[in-house]
Structure 1
Amino acid sequence: MDQTLLGGRYQVIRRLGSGGFSRTFLVNDVHLPNHPRCVIKQLKVQDKDTGTLDMARRLFDTEARVLYQLGSHPQIPALMAHFEEDQEFYLAQEYIEGSRLSRHVEEGKPWSETRVVLLLQEVLEILSFVHGQQVIHRDIKPSNLIRRHRDGKLVLIDFGAVKQVTSSPLLDAETGATNITVAIGTHGYMPNEQYAGKPRFSSDVYAVGILGIRALTGMYPQKIDEDPITSELAWRQYAPEVSSPLATVLDKMVRYDFRDRYPTAQEALAALQNLPNPLHGLVGTQIYRTWMKGTRGRGPTFPGDDTNTAMGPTETTEPTAFADDQDSTSLFPVDLDSSHSGVLAASPPVEPKRSMTPGLMSAFSKRHSWLLMLATGAVLGTLGLGLGLWRSGFTIGFQPALLSGNVLPFQRAEVPSPLIDFGLLLPAEEKAVYLSRQGDRLWSQGRYPDALATYNESVAAQSDYAPAYLGRCKTLISLKRPIEAIAACDDALAYSTYYPAALRSKGNAEEQQGKLLAALALYESTNRQMPAMFEAWLDRGRVLQKLGRSAEAIAAIDQAIARNRESAEAWTVRGEATWALNRYDQAIIASEKALQLDPDYAPAQDLRQRARETIGR
């Protein structure tokens, strides 16, 4: 195999992994300039009879369609090719240079709460897109998340176990249940309904919650017992200092009954975004050590780090039923380390934390009050040190409880409690990312002036950070300032040539000014760049309807509905378009569907009333 070109164009460099159903290889694409690297997944078909080959072909066709649909997202590997050769099946995917999250989540080394919240938000943001495409991943776990080196972002891999909800003839529209009869996933990250072969979107939410619990407790999920009465995971005893708001969110994510969980990643993400700012805290307490470089010091968390790390390939998971032994599956037997070609050793971990002993605290309590001023100065002087520690692999956590009791010679109320936002003390590139995420949170809460100010701070920290300009654009649209919004979107596109979200937002700004043809052209460009983006199809259909091109509007809206059937606006626009074509029965059906989704949606109420009056119902 290594002596030939796969598919006539892929030259094998080395094997990356091998499992019961597939093998993965790192290859060069000799048909493209500079022979870029990519990853080839080969399905191993043991039995070449017609039935087995047909099943293998169906599985790979399904995976290829899903990867093509989802690969337009910047944190999901793009599909390069999909081909069959000599009754073998191959997928060629984008190669991601980075390190798997499984290298960072070490047993017995719990993460800080801050770091867990930020991780969960990042994973749920990707998964929200996946669920928006009516896809259930079914195998969320640390080894299927890669921290990409070039920008520090997580990439979700391994879509071999996916299920497209809309492909099921026995789909339950309310729950997202499918007619799958084989349990696929990884033991410890699978909820009970997935074991039964009936995954929902909330099954992925469960897995993300387990990921958070594993990081927070430092324990593999298989080692956490269930409550014998409720069957809920009894994980809180292993993280006694977790805050109540975060614990409540995690509890809901991992409920035994899927009906008690957040139904999709979007709802879970919203709950996390409403938590108190995880980077705020009280000064003068405790530093929690969390080695952010992962196992044996590998894996940069921030862009710009010059730490040499192992390279994790983009591998796709085969359907693996009930994979045991922590979170491993047969697809991931290779653990790249410093002995591997092209990998350099990193610096060793830092020493464990040291805390103030009770004897020292007792001695301190006997000092005169003037020592409080000295102590306060010392605490403030350590902020720079604390930031440096956090930047190099520590997470700073503060425990107000340590200020209570008779350890210190004063009551908490007698001492100011300044809020220190360590995100504002980060180096410029990281500060820009942090502020932009804060702006996103404020924008989602409808706090547009605050969001705009935060995005402006992000731009001030790093003048070429495209997501901050996009945030400005969206916020200015919300503030009805379309001319300024267009300028902000143009800045985003100047710094990121491939940015479908910025194209779409610029179209929103043009539409807000009444420049419908300009908006339509931008929406069409967005559709070409990212066919999976539901919102751009909806925008396109809405503008086409405003232009009186109702037949074209219906075609565009049908594309939107195929990607998200739960949008009351999409159904209403379809109803308006069918109304304009005198298809009143269809208009009523569309309006009633919209009102099922949102009974208070006024445009749908008005449309249904007009249609009924016209046909005399």
Structure 2
Amino acid sequence: MGYESVINSQADEGILGSMEQTLLGGRYQVVRRLGSGGFSRTFLVIDIHLPNHPRCVIKQLKVQDKDTGTLDMARRLFDTEAQVLYQLGNHPQIPALMAHFEEDQEFYLAQEYIEGSRLNRQIEEGKPWSETRVVLLLQEVLEILSFVHRQQVIHRDIKPSNLIRRHRDGKLVLIDFGAVKQVTSSPLLDAETGATNITVAIGTHGYMPNEQYAGKPRFSSDVYAVGILGIRALTGLHPQKLEEDPITSEIAWRQHAPAVSSSLAAVLDKMVRYDFRDRYPTAQEALEALQNLPNPLHGLVGTQIYQTWMKGANGRGPTFPGDENDTAVGPAETSEPTAFADDQDSTSLFPVDLAYSSGKGTAPPPAASSALDFQPFPRRRSLVLGSLLGIVGTGLVFWRSGLTIALELNGAEPAIPFQASAVPVLTTDLGILLPPEEKAAFLTRQGDRLRHQGRYPDALATYDEAVKSQSDYAAAHLGRCRTLIALKRPIEAITACDDALAYSTYYPEAVRSKGNAEEQRGRLLAALALYESTNNLMPAMFEAWLDRGRVLQKLGRSAEAIAAVDQAIARNRESAEAWTVRGQATWTLKRYDQAIIAAEKALQIDPNYGPAKELREQARQTLGR
């Protein structure tokens, strides 16, 4: 099947003019074109059927060959891929797929609109990142990609322009799972190898490993791309400028980052091995390797400090493919943006190297391969410090309890920090280095991790610190709300959610969480109204549909509960609670066979789910089966 490879800009403008007069899918009004790729056009639209006309992104996929057989195959594969995207959209750092439809033999995806700045605005040619900055980036990308791989999906196009730093909470969002890639190939996976059965090479030059060029990507192909992303940031060189070893075909990159620690270099080397069998098999294994690096600070103390990166790279806001003032990033990258915005304010958490000043210019300190590799100067040339010092001679160092620093006083070389006791944990040490805006974002992420671990008092204290740092940081208030709900303090939770909504006008997650608090208080009608509002604001949010169904069942409105929970199941079929609520509602309506089927499905997902076991036992006692 063929696709348009080039979209004429003049024709685009004419099409856009006509599209602005038409409602796509009967509900989406085109505002403007965002970008064009080899297979698609992307538009910013508003949904006129929902209150407040929320914005979203429409990707139009064009099929050049429109004979019946080709269209039928495209339609089948498109629908299959859309189901995958619905499932992936349940992750908070992947844009939710809100709708997919066909109109006039064209295919359309409606996706969540992400306000943020693309990562290729920060990864600039000739400007290497520090090691700490690279490790934090790799960990965040691999955390998202681990989820993708668990869903048996290979992204196949990891690169800077497909990562967006979201303005709302500073988190990275992975985009461009475009169904167009699956339309041109089979989406089926080999259960043993993890490879997709495809015959067309899909991806971006420089980020594609050998097997992907051959049309046989594995999960480790994505690991390769993430490794290349790290090497690009670490060296400041576009991957197409990196040479290969003529004998082994391995990428020769270390000479461009001579200060990199041996431990991180070893991980990156394994991520980008020429033979896919020598790489980490999935993102999860690569993530674990990064998390097990011997020095959790990766040279942070004494060499780096965090700053706020305002208004995108070089003071500019995010840009889109084709923008004349887009930041130069080396050889052109094919990009098919799926969800991004043009908000001119961009605040992201990025560390930058602290310049070491001397009469002979600046020079970065040598990086240590691990905490145990830090070596002190001879006693006559060093000074052991136990407090925070300013600039002395050639170096600036930081101190926190338990850390001892060696400082070169008069020599030409920069200071080399060494470890006299345990390295302080990353969360603690970064707290003294971050400005207020970035400290709030960093602490909120730490609070999220603590909350997910069930450490609610610690999480609440961390969110409180984030709010102290920046009182209008909406994500921190939302974290407080969710934690207070877990602690069974719903009145305080409602106040926290109201604070989040006061600082962020569009925050469906906060609306839903406020509904959870109202439900916990027993105010079911108030909770229902909030869940319905969340459904309108973000139709793709599975949890809000489930909440709505659960409350409707509590209110005795079982038929409506089934309709709501069916919406939840359509977005996530692997929820034991959703199937159980459906079973309870059908049982109330005396649809006993349906209730039993729903209970069995719930127990297949979670054999120990109590409410489902109770429903099945009720069926046995009442019906004798």
- Fold equivalence (TM over 0.5): yes
Which amino acid in 1 is paired with 2:383? L
**Separation of aligned partners in 1, 2:295 and 2:493:** 28
Q: How far does residue 263 in structure 1 lie from its aligned partner after superposition? A: 8.2
Q: Does structure 1 residue 365 correspond to structure 2 residue 383?
A: no
- Picking from 148, 151, 158, the partner of 1:140 is 158
**Separation of aligned partners in 2, 1:243 and 1:583:** 64
| 1:327-476 equivalence runs, <5 A | 328-329=333-334, 354=363, 365=378, 367=380, 372-373=383-384, 421-476=429-484
- Residues 586 and 242 of structure 1: CA distance in aligned 2, closer, same or farther (over 3 Å): farther
User: Match of 1:537?
Assistant: 545
Residues 130-159 of structure 1, C-alpha deviation per residue, up to 9 Å, x if partnerless? Answer: 899998654222122245789866454445
Which amino acid in 2 is paired with 1:573? V
- Residues 574 and 121 of structure 1: CA distance in aligned 2, closer, same or farther (over 3 Å): farther
User: Match of 1:393?
Assistant: none
Q: How far does residue 449 in structure 1 lie from its aligned partner after superposition? A: 0.9
Which amino acid in 1 is paired with 2:309? F
Which amino acid in 1 is paired with 2:133? R
Count matched residues. 550
Q: Does structure 1 residue 8 correspond to structure 2 residue 18?
A: yes
Which amino acid in 2 is paired with 1:486? I
**Separation of aligned partners in 1, 2:177 and 2:437:** 31
| 1:274-353 equivalence runs, <5 A | 283=301, 287=303, 302-303=309-310, 307-309=314-316, 311-313=318-320, 328-329=333-334
Q: How far does residue 479 in structure 1 lie from its aligned partner after superposition? A: 0.9
2:477–2:500 CA contact under 8 A, matched in 1: yes
1:175–1:200 CA contact under 8 A, matched in 2: yes
1:431–1:461 CA contact under 8 A, matched in 2: yes
User: Match of 2:347?
Assistant: none
1:288–1:353 CA contact under 8 A, matched in 2: no
In structure 1, runs of 5+ residues without a counterpart are 29-36, 293-300, 316-324, 333-348, 389-397
1:425 counterpart SS class: coil
Which amino acid in 1 is paired with 2:567? Q
User: Match of 2:488?
Assistant: 480
- Residues 130 and 451 of structure 1: CA distance in aligned 2, closer, same or farther (over 3 Å): same
- Residues 57 and 412 of structure 1: CA distance in aligned 2, closer, same or farther (over 3 Å): closer
Q: How far does residue 535 in structure 1 lie from its aligned partner after superposition? A: 1.2
1:213–1:250 CA contact under 8 A, matched in 2: no
Q: Does structure 1 residue 595 correspond to structure 2 residue 603?
A: yes
2:18 counterpart SS class: coil
Which amino acid in 1 is paired with 2:472? D
1:137–1:163 CA contact under 8 A, matched in 2: no
| 1:33-182 equivalence runs, <5 A | 76=95, 100-105=118-123, 111-120=129-138, 122-123=140-141, 137-147=155-165, 154=172, 156-161=174-179, 182=200
Taking structure 1 as the reference length, the TM-score comes to 0.65
2:509 counterpart SS class: helix
Residues 492-525 of structure 1, C-alpha deviation per residue, up to 9 Å, x if partnerless? Answer: 1111121111111111111112222221221111
Q: How far does residue 425 in structure 1 lie from its aligned partner after superposition? A: 3.1
Which amino acid in 2 is paired with 1:140? I
Q: Does structure 1 residue 489 correspond to structure 2 residue 502?
A: no
In structure 2, runs of 5+ residues without a counterpart are 1-9, 22-29, 47-54, 323-329, 338-353, 367-373
1:302–1:430 CA contact under 8 A, matched in 2: no
2:152–2:189 CA contact under 8 A, matched in 1: no
Q: How far does residue 306 in structure 1 lie from its aligned partner after superposition? A: 8.9
**Separation of aligned partners in 2, 1:201 and 1:556:** 35
Residues 545-586 of structure 1, C-alpha deviation per residue, up to 9 Å, x if partnerless? Answer: 222333322222221122112222222222333333333433
1:507–1:518 CA contact under 8 A, matched in 2: yes
1:453 counterpart SS class: helix
Residues 163-199 of structure 1, C-alpha deviation per residue, up to 9 Å, x if partnerless? Answer: 789x999789999987766553335656799778787
1:566 counterpart SS class: coil
1:110–1:217 CA contact under 8 A, matched in 2: yes
1:139 counterpart SS class: coil
Q: How far does residue 386 in structure 1 lie from its aligned partner after superposition? A: 6.1
- Residues 77 and 7 of structure 1: CA distance in aligned 2, closer, same or farther (over 3 Å): farther
**Separation of aligned partners in 1, 2:612 and 2:113:** 46
| Bigger Cα displacement from structure 2, 454-463 vs 153-162 | 153-162
2:170–2:441 CA contact under 8 A, matched in 1: no
**Separation of aligned partners in 2, 1:424 and 1:18:** 44
Q: How far does residue 610 in structure 1 lie from its aligned partner after superposition? A: 3.1
- Residues 97 and 547 of structure 1: CA distance in aligned 2, closer, same or farther (over 3 Å): closer
**Separation of aligned partners in 1, 2:566 and 2:220:** 26
- Residues 96 and 578 of structure 1: CA distance in aligned 2, closer, same or farther (over 3 Å): closer
1:205–1:268 CA contact under 8 A, matched in 2: yes
- Residues 252 and 18 of structure 1: CA distance in aligned 2, closer, same or farther (over 3 Å): closer
2:169–2:475 CA contact under 8 A, matched in 1: no
**Separation of aligned partners in 2, 1:458 and 1:609:** 47
**Separation of aligned partners in 1, 2:554 and 2:526:** 13
2:431 counterpart SS class: helix
Q: How far does residue 489 in structure 1 lie from its aligned partner after superposition? A: 0.6
User: Match of 2:203?
Assistant: 185
Q: How far does residue 279 in structure 1 lie from its aligned partner after superposition? A: 5.7
- Residues 93 and 614 of structure 1: CA distance in aligned 2, closer, same or farther (over 3 Å): closer
- Residues 539 and 232 of structure 1: CA distance in aligned 2, closer, same or farther (over 3 Å): farther
1:493–1:502 CA contact under 8 A, matched in 2: yes
Q: Does structure 1 residue 578 correspond to structure 2 residue 578?
A: no
Q: How far does residue 483 in structure 1 lie from its aligned partner after superposition? A: 0.8
